[in-house]
Copies of this chain bind each other. A is one copy, B any other.
Amino acid sequence: MAEKVNTSISPKRSLELLSQREVEQLQRSSAADHNLYALFRQCALAILHSGSNSDDANSLFETFKDFDIDLIQQDRGIRLLLKNAPGNAFVDGEMIASSREMIFSALRDILYSETERNSKWMDLETSSGITDYTFHLLRNARALHAGEKPNLVVCWGGHSIPEYEYDYSKDVGHELGLRKLNVCTGCGPGAMKGPMKGATIAHSKQRIQNGRYLGITEPGIIAAEAPNPIVNELVILPDIEKRLEAFVRVGHGIIVFPGGAGTAEEILYLLGILLHPNNRDIPFPLIFTGPKESESYFTQLHEFIGQTLGIEAQQKYRVIIGDSEQAAREMARGIEEVRDFRVKQNDAFYFNWALTIDYNFQIPFEANHENMATLNLHADLPKHELAANLRRAFSGIVAGNVKPSGVKAIKDFGPFKISGDKTIMAPLDKLLRGFVDNKRMKLPGSEYVPCYEIVD
């Protein structure tokens, strides 16, 4: 049985202080904002669970259904009172500093997202309004560092991966860290944790005491991919699209490790943006890399991208197999280019304002049967729009695989039906089958039952 701990923690940093109104907003007893409280409780639970290896959100919620977190007015101000908290965030009864910090980060982001969303100044109906919103959330979380040279490498990839892929991601992180680069990932274990761990050791060797391990997540995913405790800056964006925008606007380059459908979704999102005519001349280093054993993942993807989005799309990234040093060196060089470009354009280093992200990349895609069935997947679409729609297809599949709402929809109504041009659908089918064959669609151990069906 899981160990459970009762304790209380208090704010240590100025940003963690709360006003009376905010206390009321988040106190369990205050009915008005019960959703906000539920969101906070869920994020806190995920954070406290972080050391664990399971990514089964449902079982987490079940095991700790008696977990309770509440704000109390006590001991020199506000305290958070925790009951039946997962034991693995504690050392000899004391909460690990990173967990404490992250719980207060969650509190900060949940409150501020809500406040900003309701601001009369905020306009979430326009593309630039959403970008401003994302900027405000990141700034409030201190994730935008003025006066720092570009050095932030976003790492994407699977959270449930074999050991050799994990070790490889650690190697890449180590090589990035030796080159004084920082790491940003989507939180969680696997390829989200490995690069941070490697970079931590390398930063220690390079005597870098303020290395950044930035984790960007959203409430829907945090339970399944709890932030690993190396994350020293946690930002919780309100939904998956804001989170993706945050990645591409704060990161100076992206490394993709092998993953599954979720990773493919992220790649298509990014290609969709980079293929946008406005973005063609903006340098954005993008590297797909993995150990020799995982070569096929990228071979298949590369083929799929060539067949659906064409050669131009293939030229937006470099595939580097089994050479962590080369991958890091290439990234360092790419980031130098980013730096030079921004200096020339008088662009900010800390936020990629110049990148055009279409409104339809910014708003949530609801993965239901109707939306999936009506996706426009035709070859004559502009490539960046096709990429956007393919990304949605993958998004739906990820939801059908792991997100509670998606899983339920599949259970109730059967698999999603996806249709489109044969020249698109055939490669898609092949890619997805490849994922299934390579056990990339589900946790190792369980048999995968597809949540989608490709129809003509």
Contacts and interface: CB of A to CB of B under 8 A. Distances in A.
A132 B230 contact: no
B144 A97 contact: no
Interface bin, chain A? 35 or more
Given A15-B139, A204-B230, 13 more contacts: A12-B147, A13-B147, A14-B145, A17-B139, A17-B348, A20-B135, A76-B343, A77-B353, A96-B206, A97-B205, A101-B207, A119-B120, A209-B210
19 contacts: A12-B147, A13-B147, A17-B139, A19-B135, A20-B132, A21-B129, A21-B132, A73-B346, A74-B346, A75-B346, A76-B346, A92-B179, A92-B332, A96-B178, A96-B206, A98-B205, A98-B207, A197-B201, A204-B213
A350 interface: yes
Interface string A63-106: 00000000001111110000000000001100011100100000
Interface in A28-86: 73-78
A10 to B, nearest CB: 8
Contact of A204 (B131, B132, B200): B200
Contacts of A197: 201
Contact of A179 (B73, B91, B146): B91
A232 interface: yes
A413 interface: no
A255 to B, nearest CB: 17
A435 interface: no
Interface in A107-157: 115, 118-123, 128-129, 131-132, 135-136, 139, 142, 144-147
Name, among A73, A197, A229, the residue most crowded by chain B CB atoms within 10 Å (CB to CB). A229
A20 B75 contact: no
A19 B136 contact: yes
Contacts of A351: 17, 77
**How many copies of this chain?**
4
A78 B119 CA distance: 23
Contacts of A119: 115, 118-120
Q: Which 8 A-B pairs have the closest CB atoms?
A: A77-B348, A205-B229, A97-B207, A19-B132, A91-B178, A19-B135, A118-B120, A21-B132
A433 interface: no
A332 to B, nearest CB: 7
A9 to B, nearest CB: 12
A96 B139 CA distance: 26
Contacts of A12: 146-147
B206 A97 contact: yes
A425 B358 CA distance: 69
Contacts of A73: 346
A210 B97 CA distance: 15
Contacts of A229: 205
Interface in A333-359: 342-343, 346-351, 353
A144 B346 contact: no
Interface of A: 11-17, 19-22, 25, 73-78, 91-92, 96-98, 101, 115, 118-123, 128-129, 131-132, 135-136, 139, 142, 144-147, 178-179, 197, 200-201, 204-210, 213, 229-230, 232, 329, 332, 342-343, 346-351, 353
Q: From A20, A76, A205, name the one whose CB has the most chain B CB atoms within 10 angstroms.
A: A205
Contacts of A14: 139, 142, 144-146, 350
Nearest to A329: B92
Contacts of A346: 73-77
A144 to B, nearest CB: 5
A121 B24 CA distance: 11
A88 to B, nearest CB: 11
A147 B179 CA distance: 22
Nearest to A117: B120
Contacts of A122: 21
A348 to B, nearest CB: 3
B230 A207 contact: no
A11 B210 contact: no
A121 B121 contact: no
Nearest to A50: B205
Contacts of A20: 128, 131-132, 135, 353
